[in-house]
Structure 1
Amino acid sequence: MSEINPKDAGGLIREAVEAAGELTHVTTQEIHDPRDGTTAIVVVSPNGVHALDPAAFDKYRLAPMERVGTAKWTTLESFIEHTNRFKVDTASAVFARDDMATAKLTTIFDYHQSVADGGDRANLRHRAEYAFPFSDQWKAWHGKDKEPMAMSDFAQFLEDRIVDIDADGVPSSDEAKAFVAAINGKMASPSKLIELARGLQVYENSVLKEARNLSTGEGQLTFESTHVDADGKPLNIPNLFMITIPVFARSPDYFRLLARLRYRKAPGGVVFWYELWRADLAFEQAFAAACEQVKEQTGLPLFVGAAEA
């Protein structure tokens, strides 16, 4: 093995340092998009070319370059007020999701400008949202829809929600009127349902005999009871009742919904339930009314569907 001359050692060290420096040399450069001339800063190193994250400059700014983020409101009024505060008439738009499970409104403040105003695109990063909250009445009636209940439970439910029962009992739409006529419907009043609920509580543990009047749509339950206060008179069961409730929380608008009253014999006695008829129609009307209110009070275009991601 040959020895290195001490006189040459310094030169070898300098060469090694220079080589290492070349390997670790990092520079920044500007590159330009050939389509529109947009400038980007990139970092060039022996490992390749990497774009510099623009967010690295944000903490040095005195003010943000643009508004970003999504404000989420719990009342329609606040959603409208916020939209009016930040809207740009030629570059903002409202989008409505009409799915009952996830109904909401979204304002995109920095949406694309119209073609008439130059058609400039935007980042779509400044938004407001309003997720429609259903009313307590809607949640209560929907929560028990088509759910069989024991006599005592059904009676308790009717008494708890009796203020929602419509005393008028007159369908508000031609479709509902046609449905009532088609099934030869017999409408129950609130007092009739209270009578029914109390009767069910009295005869809760009784032996049941059932009959149904096909001409009137009424069912008739006769109980052979061991209760000392039971007189054995039949309970006439109507097959329809109507509720009047708001669809959305804090809404002044109430809607009439038909409910079919159903029951059947079961090993443990009688079970009752109801079936709401076309509740989706009430939702659609309430949703459409809210959308119309937003259009009128903001002056912005409203599209039913989802915007670009």
Structure 2
Amino acid sequence: MHEETLKSTETENIAQTVAREIKRPFEIGSEKHIKRVALPPGWTIEENDDEHLLDRPIRISGTAYAHDADSFINYVNRHANLATSTIFCQANYENDEMLITSIIDDHTENEPAWGAHRISFSPRHSVEYKNWVKNNRRSMPQVEFALFLEQNLEDIANVEGMPTGSQLLEMALQFEANQDMRLKSHVRLQSGGVQMQFVQDDDDATIARMTMFDKLSIGIPVFWNAEPYLINARLRYRVREGKATFWYELIRPEKVFEAACKTIIERIKSETELPFFFGTSAR
């Protein structure tokens, strides 16, 4: 048997003997934050935490959750200490995810800490952003597509070379007016749009023409309570048996999400001045 094991067994025997003789718990071999207590035979230990009865907690703990960047920054600046607080960021731009956490009582270079006081912030997507992303690349019948454009007309941005909101509204109304007609032909124009020719099924002489734009721009906030960003989209269509379906394709929306996240990140860095790390901190 090793010498250390012999010493440990010997110490344990002594502790049990002393506890049995004096008939009360006996502390032996404690060090730093570890206490070793021998109990007389048949004794048990119950632990009661009465911290809630004190005037104030022994230390600050818990995690707060902010809904916007302002709240996160204000909370951090209220509680943080430049010497003991840090910020960690998990960013997955392709999946539209970002989580920022400030550890108010983090480890320092020379001293460990509990890391029990935190605030986290995951920016909430705006209603407009969720709506356009949810319907991205979703094929819609003519009337449904027209209704979608009408309901979200306020999101259309006035950008040179792109259709205005009123032009898209006119296009949507033409979609509705021609919903019972058959698409006879469609010709791509030099301007980039598509000219469509509709006819009645029983009367090819009755012709209605309209021009469909091939792209648009929307100006919407990516996050709730944040500034808007410009997102371009392509307008697409498919014809089957004389009926057309339409959809749009957002152009690199993940890059717009990344830009919106980086704006928040830079603001947090600037207004808190805390050490900032990309990654996670587990406890």
Q: TM-score, normalised by structure 1?
A: 0.74
Corresponding residue for residue 182 of structure 2: 207
Query: Aligned partners of 2:145, 2:233: CA distance in 1, in Å?
Result: 14
CA contact (8 A) 1:291 1:302 kept: no
Query: Aligned partners of 1:43, 1:160: CA distance in 2, in Å?
Result: 75
CA contact (8 A) 2:199 2:208 kept: no
* Aligned partner of 1:27 among 25, 34, 39: 25
Secondary structure of the corresponding residue to residue 274 of structure 2: coil
Deviation at 1:191, TM superposition (A): 2.8
Query: Aligned partners of 1:288, 1:134: CA distance in 2, in Å?
Result: 15
Query: Aligned partners of 1:282, 1:122: CA distance in 2, in Å?
Result: 38
Query: Aligned partners of 1:73, 1:167: CA distance in 2, in Å?
Result: 33
CA contact (8 A) 2:183 2:242 kept: no
Q: Which amino acid aligns with 2:211?
A: N
Deviation at 1:81, TM superposition (A): 1.0
Instruction: Give yes or no for the alignment of 1:159 onto 2:133.
Output: no
Secondary structure of the corresponding residue to residue 49 of structure 2: helix
Query: Aligned partners of 2:24, 2:218: CA distance in 1, in Å?
Result: 74
CA contact (8 A) 2:84 2:104 kept: yes
- Flag the 1:237–1:59 CA change in 2: closer, same or farther, 3 A: closer
Q: Residue by residue, what CA displacement relative to the aligned partner does 1:277-297 show, whole Å, maximum 9, x if unpaired?
A: 111111111111111111111
Query: Aligned partners of 2:29, 2:250: CA distance in 1, in Å?
Result: 64
Instruction: Give yes or no for the alignment of 1:68 onto 2:61.
Output: yes
CA contact (8 A) 1:220 1:235 kept: yes
Corresponding residue for residue 10 of structure 1: none
Deviation at 1:68, TM superposition (A): 0.7
Corresponding residue for residue 111 of structure 1: 106
Q: How does 1:1-309 map to 2 (within 5 A)?
A: 27=25, 29=27, 31-33=29-31, 37-40=32-35, 42=37, 44=39, 56-59=49-52, 61-100=54-93, 101-113=96-108, 115=109, 119-169=110-160, 187-213=162-188, 216-225=191-200, 232-251=207-226, 253-266=227-240, 269-309=243-283
Find the structure with the greater CA-based Rg.
1
Deviation at 1:266, TM superposition (A): 3.6
Q: Residue by residue, what CA displacement relative to the aligned partner does 1:251-295 show, whole Å, maximum 9, x if unpaired?
A: 1x2211110101112458221110101111111111111111111
Deviation at 1:41, TM superposition (A): 5.4
- Flag the 1:152–1:59 CA change in 2: closer, same or farther, 3 A: same
Query: Aligned partners of 2:53, 2:173: CA distance in 1, in Å?
Result: 72
Secondary structure of the corresponding residue to residue 243 of structure 1: strand
- Flag the 1:194–1:56 CA change in 2: closer, same or farther, 3 A: same
CA contact (8 A) 1:218 1:238 kept: yes
- Flag the 1:47–1:106 CA change in 2: closer, same or farther, 3 A: farther
- Flag the 1:28–1:198 CA change in 2: closer, same or farther, 3 A: farther
CA RMSD, 1 decimal: 3.0
CA contact (8 A) 1:30 1:39 kept: no
Q: Residue by residue, what CA displacement relative to the aligned partner does 1:91-115 show, whole Å, maximum 9, x if unpaired?
A: 10111221244322211101111x3
CA contact (8 A) 1:263 1:271 kept: yes
- Flag the 1:300–1:43 CA change in 2: closer, same or farther, 3 A: farther
Query: Aligned partners of 2:242, 2:40: CA distance in 1, in Å?
Result: 80
Query: Aligned partners of 1:222, 1:155: CA distance in 2, in Å?
Result: 17
Name structure 1 gaps, 5 residues minimum.
Answer: 1-20, 171-186
Q: What percentage of aligned pairs have identical amino acids?
A: 27
Total equivalences in the alignment: 260
- Flag the 1:38–1:213 CA change in 2: closer, same or farther, 3 A: same
Deviation at 1:57, TM superposition (A): 4.6
- Flag the 1:223–1:30 CA change in 2: closer, same or farther, 3 A: farther
Q: Which amino acid aligns with 1:193?
A: L
Query: Aligned partners of 1:164, 1:209: CA distance in 2, in Å?
Result: 32
Q: TM-score, normalised by structure 2?
A: 0.81
CA contact (8 A) 1:188 1:239 kept: no
Name structure 2 gaps, 5 residues minimum.
Answer: 1-18
